Amino acid sequence: MNVSSVENRQSIIIVVGSVFLLSVSDAIIKAASAQISLWQLNVIRSLLAVVMLAALVLLRNGKDSLWPQSPGWATLRGLLLALMWIAFYAALPFITLTMAALAIYTTPLFITLFSSIYLKERITPRKWFSIVLGFAGVLVTLNPTADDFSSYALLPILAAILYALAAVVTKGKCADEDAMVLAMLMNLVLLASGLLGSLLIAMAGPLEPQQGQLRFLLGDWSYMQLADWTLMVLLAVLMVLVSTGIARAYQIGEPSIIGAFDYTYLVFAILWGVLVFEESLNARIVTGLVMILMSGFVLFKRPA
């Protein structure tokens, strides 16, 4: 892979903007998780996002541009990302947004490993130092040996592995695809997962609303008022921007560098955790966060 410094810088700007919007979306979903079903969210948000993306692609390039050049690889990428979203969102009712964000940001280590194996990307000592420093920061803040560690934090780590695989597929097999078409296909897979999940819960019998946090995973659809529909439209717009932006970033930049700057999501997620959910910060979390930010600056100073 030959990626210029300019392309890396462009992809860094795109991914930082995208993960900021992603953090806003995740905060909204966590706040609403007591009132809606994960599968209801996947169906309504993804349906709206698909319509928006299809309209944008049609207006820009015409109907022939709706079909991806490599349907198999594009579908695999969409499936990996859909499973990633399900795993990550399934953890949100049970752990803090800060904990979920820290757990999923084992992603850059997996991206680096998979990129070196499947894309033959050269991982320089400076890159390895950056990735290891960021991963160490995640371990410091996550503190998996602590008594308050939740096994639900393993779901975002699973999401991290799926995200890393999707990033490698994006760069290795879908680099020439339209980013909006990739985003549309991912939302189609999420839509299908929402319909399937809703059907299975309807057949098995949903949990009652008073059955707490599991309602987000196993509850029935909720009645939606105008404010709820407005929220879904907002989430769909955010999904369009995030999924298109991240797809484009991984198409033009080096996956290991983009993965390192994905870490900026942590700053935004922790900010929403403190301001919106009154989550507390301690010296360990701050220390780990500083390590994570430093790992990104190592690459930003002189992109490879």
Q: What is the pLDDT of residues 38-61, one digit of tens each?
A: 899 999 999 999 999 999 888 887
How does pLDDT run across 228-283, given as a tens digit for each residue?
Answer: 899 999 999 998 999 888 888 878 877 767 766 777 787 888 889 888 888 887 88
Integer-rounded Cα radius of gyration of the chain:
19
**CA–CA distance, 66 with 178 (Å, rounded to integer):** 9
User: What is the pLDDT averaged over residues 76-98?
Assistant: 88
Phi, psi of 206, deg, nearest 5: -75, 160
Give the containing element (helix H, strand E) for 192: helix 179-204
Side-chain half-sphere CA neighbours of 23 within 13 A: 26
Q: What is the pLDDT of residues 14-37, one digit of tens each?
A: 989 999 999 999 999 888 877 888
CA–CA distance, 304 with 299 (Å, rounded to integer)? 8
Contact 134, 167 (CB under 8 A): no
∠ CA 276-266-274, nearest 5°, is 20
- Separation in Å, CA 15 to CA 42, 125, 136: 23, 23, 22
Q: Give the Cα separation of 183 and 56 in Å (integer).
A: 12
Burial of 59 (0-12, 13-18, 19+ CB in 10 A): exposed
- Which residue's structure tokens are 């009712």? 93
pTM over 0.75: yes
Q: Pick 212 or 86 by higher pLDDT.
A: 86
Question: So where are the chain's domains?
Answer: 5-301
| CA distances (Å), origin 149, targets 7, 145, 153, 270 | 39, 7, 8, 17
Q: Which residues neighbour 221 within 8 Å (Cβ) at sequence distance 6 or greater?
A: 37, 39, 40, 198
- For the record, the structure tokens of 217 come out as 């995973």
